[in-house]
Structure 1
């Protein structure tokens, strides 16, 4: 268990993720990530949640509006903004662009982004697991079982995910024995409550409907199957250390929490609504 904050390690992380440093090496990919497909798009949705979300936005606006001489002091008391700044640094350094989900090597860049968050000393890893499972039965039941694995995802975003999964299930049902696949979908959440955490969920799911044709007097039997790979990461942000590191981070990026919210979601229309690559 970590007993103290490693300022040397954090300085090294900032240097690695600086725009002035060399590009990240392709091999910097967390071992338990999904297998990288260079042609698979990555769709992302970024949200702010939690009981202190309004206060976090207020502190962020104060930082943005502060005159240059007061910027650092305003930033020191805006830890959720600090969390967003580190996520932005890691994403920009990796080259992953949510606005171009089907860009060259989108998934490889995305994996390097996630890895940099996991190894950042200003975060503590609370959850890092990979769920691989096969579900069968009624599609509505299958979808609810998948959504239940998204701990910390607000209901409005569960509704979006539910709609997308239903679209893929409908496509599978209309074309028996044809696999319908959701490309990698990434849900990132900054949760500002009594503590600040970031939830990072990404998944790949394949759905197929099989029809076993009965005999002359036998009904057809329909079987649904969903193959799921879901990686869940929850990182706790070390807000207690933020004031001491705010100036160092500000030297590398002047982005804000509002910037993160504006630039961390794939816009509707970039791909079909069900996030299914055609």
Structure 2
């Protein structure tokens, strides 16, 4: 009887181990979940969004693996992002903190902000006013302007990506910058909430992002909560879920 019980524990242990290995495998080569803790990507991503990131979109680096072990350098099956991709990457200054921003500059591009307008390779990026936008859930409630911005197309694309951005003003600290020339093997990333994003414009903190640091491309939101219900307020959970954002793609 004792022997049979011991065998049962062994089989249960094997099942748990196999399940863990499968989960790690999926997170490494296919999809990994992430949550949004800050408002730097509003209105595209909101605080409390949970999304899946495809790990295969840009190939694999050591940062594709749990804890980023220094097993190899560069990328395997690597490919460049497209301008406009929303990507997760490891912060270059510590190679461990996860950031999520929009890729606006590719290797060799010249990037600059002038009066709140993004310039890519000397040409102003088109932006069209959508209207006022009320920012909530990331500090004090405030009304800003929403624009629709269209980036230049990447190589092989017929037209550039169009997405929403927010601007509180056009004369903030990052609204007028030097011209940044993106080095080979790097990309330039910015938040859609332009006046509330610490991104590649902050050279002493983020700066140019090495291709090796890319973790994957944001694909779709699988869950979203507005933070209005505490974990123990079970009765309020259904009202805290942003049902309209579930299973929506990230663009």
Q: Same fold per TM (> 0.5)? A: no
Which structure shows the bigger proportion of residues in helix conformation?
1
Shorter-chain TM-score category? under 0.3
